[in-house]
């Protein structure tokens, strides 16, 4: 995708006047804060079920954790596609604001749930209206030159990792010294700060009327845009979603199995922060490599090492080994999503970036729906170590699934869609 020439500007749904470097800084800071808020509460749901709702059985708690995350995944799967399509119609910034303000409102309510089913219901509603990562990525890609897409996606992923790292540490300390209610309300307050930052400083020069005229002039049919290459990439998004989301709810339980319940919240925060640190370095590295090496080639070593270190987590004999393995696994796998998204941006129309990012987010979330069923069954029959073993196997299975993608991309020319991002 080359630079969009000035005589074709009237054909675009965008009139970009955005300094992409400043926008990257603002959106990075907003996502850093959002992930700090997220990290303050979400890793501790299994412990909250035991402490506040008095669900003591490991197997039953594993099942309830799966149901809880299933409620969020089903809601998010539907919502991500809806919000992605609306982003291409009404703009990307408003979608990021919607997600940020909704998270600030709904996350604190989780701490007030009197029983598990109310907790799951609040999670369902929260997931439908929140979810900042996809709209942030879409807004950033829409206002950045094509040759910098790999860089900005990698850098933005460091906001997720570093924000989570600080959030996990802060959340562990807040829970340890004050309690779960304070942690969840802290989450809402930080999300509010993130929303205000986007409200006043982020830019999106999307023109609604021009976008409408462009859609009427050049309608897009599903069969024309969902090419075989895109379908294969979506399959990898699905498998990535299964592998990543399979283990996310169970870190606290794995810490409890390896170390014991005493100080489990504290060490869960440390282990989760180690993962975020690994993801931070992975984002920097991938952001640098993606604009220099064909992204498909990067996935092979990523998947091999990610599978190996995830397996090491499953068989950790002490909490120190678990923390180190968690860091290395995150370092290895932290680049999967940016690489897949970069592959997708190079094969899709810029006017439909919100739609494609919404679809990829929904497919990824659909993997979370599948693993909610898988995780509950594995937790019930083989315990929490079996969940991490299954995640390692799925990462390994992504390797043969990648081969048709690489073959298809070699036969498919890089997108000839013009790049509409004219920044300064």
pLDDT at residue number 193: 95
Specify the pLDDT at position 30.
Answer: 95
Q: Which residues of the chain have pLDDT under 70?
A: 1-17, 58, 207-226, 291, 347-354, 372, 408-424
Residue 121: what pLDDT?
92
CB atoms within 10 A of CB 293: 13
- DSSP tally for the chain: helices H, then strands E: 18, 0
Q: How many other CB atoms sit within 10 Å of the CB of residue 224?
A: 9
pLDDT digits (tens, 9 = 90+) for 46-98: 888 887 787 777 678 877 887 887 888 788 878 887 887 788 788 889 999 99
**Spatial CB neighbours of 207, under 8 Å, sequence gap ≥ 6:** 13, 14, 15
Distance separating alpha carbons of residues 350 and 337, to the nearest angstrom: 19
CA 340 to chain centre: 12
Q: How far apart are CA 137 and CA 156, in angstroms?
A: 8
- Nearest alpha-carbon partner for 84 in 151, 122, 131, 154: 131
CB 24 within 8 A of CB 152: yes
Q: Which two tokens stand for residue 87?
A: 């982003």
> What tokens appear for 318 in the block?
């002490």
Cβ-in-10-Å burial (0-12, 13-18, 19+) of 262 comes to exposed
Distance between CA 254 and CA 262 in Å, rounded? 13
Residue 14: the pLDDT is 42
What local confidence, expressed as pLDDT, does residue 216 receive? 55
Which pLDDT value is given to residue 343? 78
Rounded Cα distance between 239 and 395, Å, is: 8
The angle that helices 133-142 and 149-177 make with each other, rounded to 10 degrees, is 150
pTM greater than 0.85 (yes/no)? no
Contact yes or no for 203/131 (Cβ under 8 A): no
Q: What angle do CA 63, 64, 66 make, to 5 degrees?
A: 65
Confirm if 64 and 116 have CB atoms less than 8 A apart. yes
């Amino acid at each position: 995708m080359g630079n969009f020439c000035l005589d074709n500007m009237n054909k675009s749904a965008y009139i970009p006047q955005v300094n992409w470097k400043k926008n990257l800084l603002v959106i990075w800071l907003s996502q850093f804060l959002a992930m700090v808020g997220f990290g303050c509460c979400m890793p501790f749901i299994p412990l909250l079920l035991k402490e506040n709702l008095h669900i003591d059985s490991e197997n039953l708690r594993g099942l309830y954790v799966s149901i809880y995350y299933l409620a969020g995944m089903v809601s998010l799967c539907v919502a991500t596609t809806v919000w992605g399509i609306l982003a291409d119609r009404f703009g990307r910034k408003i979608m990021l604001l919607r997600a940020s303000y909704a998270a600030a409102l709904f996350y604190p309510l989780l701490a007030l749930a009197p029983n598990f089913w109310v907790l799951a219901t609040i999670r369902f509603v929260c997931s439908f209206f929140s979810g900042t990562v996809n709209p942030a990525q879409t807004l950033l890609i829409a206002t950045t030159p094509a040759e910098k897409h790999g860089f900005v996606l990698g850098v933005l992923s460091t906001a997720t990792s570093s924000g989570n790292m600080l959030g996990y540490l802060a959340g562990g300390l807040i829970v340890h010294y004050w309690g779960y209610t304070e942690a969840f309300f802290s989450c809402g307050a930080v999300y509010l700060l993130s929303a205000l930052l986007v409200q006043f400083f982020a830019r999106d020069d999307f023109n609604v009327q021009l976008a409408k005229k462009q859609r009427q002039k050049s309608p897009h049919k599903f069969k024309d845009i969902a090419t075989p290459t895109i379908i294969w990439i979506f399959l990898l998004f699905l498998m990535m979603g299964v592998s990543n989301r399979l283990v996310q709810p169970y870190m606290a339980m794995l810490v409890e199995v390896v170390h014991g319940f005493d100080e489990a919240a504290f060490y869960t925060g440390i282990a989760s922060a180690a993962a975020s640190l690994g993801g931070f370095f992975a984002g920097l590295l991938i952001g640098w490599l993606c604009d220099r090496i064909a992204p498909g080639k990067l996935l092979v070593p990523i998947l091999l090492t990610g599978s190996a270190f995830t397996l090491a987590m499953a068989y950790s004999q002490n909490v120190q080994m678990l923390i180190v393995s968690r860091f290395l696994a995150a370092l290895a796998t932290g680049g999967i999503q940016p690489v897949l998204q970069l592959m997708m941006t190079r094969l899709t129309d810029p006017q439909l970036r919100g739609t494609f990012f919404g679809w990829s987010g929904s497919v990824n979330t659909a993997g979370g729906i599948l693993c909610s069923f898988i995780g509950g069954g594995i937790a019930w029959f083989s315990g929490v170590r079996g969940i991490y073993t299954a995640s390692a196997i799925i990462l390994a299975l992504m390797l043969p699934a990648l081969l048709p993608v690489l073959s298809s991309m070699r036969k498919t020319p890089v997108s000839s869609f013009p790049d509409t991002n004219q920044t300064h």
